[in-house]
Amino acid sequence: MSFRATILTLYPEMFPGPLGVSLAGRALERGDWRIDTVNIREFGEGRHRLVDDTPAGGSPGMVLRADVLARAIDAAAPEGDARPRLLMSPRGRPLTQRQVREIAAGEGAVVVCGRFEGVDERVIEARGLIEVSIGDYILSGGEMAAMVLLDAAVRLLPGVMGNALSGDTESFEGGLLEHPHYTRPTIWEGREIPAVLRSGDHGAVERWRRAEAERITGERRPDLLTKSGGAAKAR
Ligand code: SAH
């Protein structure tokens, strides 16, 4: 059974969007994964299909209704659907490569995209939604956040990435940011590719890459070194 993403959104026309091109798009065409959208609007109230209302307690903006969203979730992922139910939300735990791997290893995901000020808290509790953030900034809706999550997961699916090996040495995978890359021409605007990379000495290349990865991580993201046990955690 292939990986299946079900997206609950007020803007289904945004999908597959960028997920329909390049690596993810070709994998979609091959059937390595599937994406379905559910328009939350279809589960709205009354003739006007209303999906939101003013915040209890008063404040600007609107809130997605619990009853409307629950109907959409129940239609999209009936009981017994083993896929995790995610809610894209700036209040969630920031997405990590580890979490992306877990999602990619499963059957797929049901992803709820918020809009306005967010969603009624009760539907998060009642439907066991796991809030996931893609970073400490505010988007206007959860759709692009859902695309980020899916792009990261889909490239890990079996057969999707051309060079399977390139996945393991990438930034974060070993608790470090990746070493620099170079390609032809050998000299460009007076800048030369480091000699060690042209030496043919694979051991020396590995040591140089490791040292560069540690240097760059130390300079840019020292938090990663302490989190992972740092340089002591050899690959
Ligand atoms: N009032 C909310 C922000 C609402 S933004 C707050 O302050 O927490 C509208 C919707 O965009 C959210 O419901 C969520 O689905 C999405 N969104 C915004 N920023 C996001 C982020 N950093 N990560 C994931 N989703 C985000």
Which single residue is written with the structure tokens 């129940």?
A: 74
Structure token digits, residue 183: 């390609």
Task: Average the pLDDT over 45-71 and give the result.
Answer: 98
Cβ neighbors of 95 (< 8 A, separation 6 or more) are 132, 133, 134, 148, 149, 152
What's the CATH code of the domain at 33? Answer: 3.40.1280.10
Mutate which of 9, 54, 89 for ligand 1? The one with the most ligand atoms within 8 Å of its CB, which is 89
Is the pLDDT at 228 greater than 80? The verdict is no
Distance 47 CA to ligand 1 centre (A): 28
Residues 150, 199 within the same domain:
no
Q: Please determine, for residue 53, whether its predicted confidence score (pLDDT) is greater than 80.
A: yes
**Residue 190 shares a structural domain with residue 133:** no
Q: How many domains does the structure of the chain reveal?
A: 2
Same structural domain, 35 and 143: yes
SS3 call for 154: helix
Q: Are residues 194 and 94 in the same domain?
A: no
pTM tops 0.85: yes
Residue 161 lies in a domain: no
The tens digit of pLDDT for each residue in 157-200 reads: 999 987 655 666 788 878 999 999 999 999 999 999 999 999 99
pLDDT > 50? residue 233:
no
Tell me if 164 is assigned to some domain: no
Last residue of a domain, one of 97, 128, 154: 154
Q: What number of other Cβ atoms are within 10 A of residue 102's Cβ?
A: 12
Rounded to the nearest 5°, which phi and psi values hold at 211? -65, -40
- Residue 29 inside a domain? The answer is yes
- Cα-to-centroid distance, 116 and ligand 1 (Å): 8
Identify the domain containing residue 183 by its residue range: 169-234
Percentage above 90 pLDDT, the chain: 89
Confidence at residue 163, expressed as pLDDT on a 0 to 100 scale: 63
Instruction: Give all strands (DSSP E) within the chain, no chain letters.
Output: 3-9, 33-39, 52-53, 63-64, 85-94, 108-113, 130-133, 187-188, 191-192
Last residue of a domain, one of 105, 129, 154: 154
On whether both 48 and 140 belong to a single domain, the answer is yes
* Residue of 9, 14, 88 to test ligand 1 pocket, by largest number of atoms within 8 Å of CB: 88
Asked if the model's pLDDT at residue 128 lies above 70, the reply is yes
Interval 82-103 mean pLDDT: 98
Do residues 169 and 206 touch, judged by C-beta distance below 8 A? no
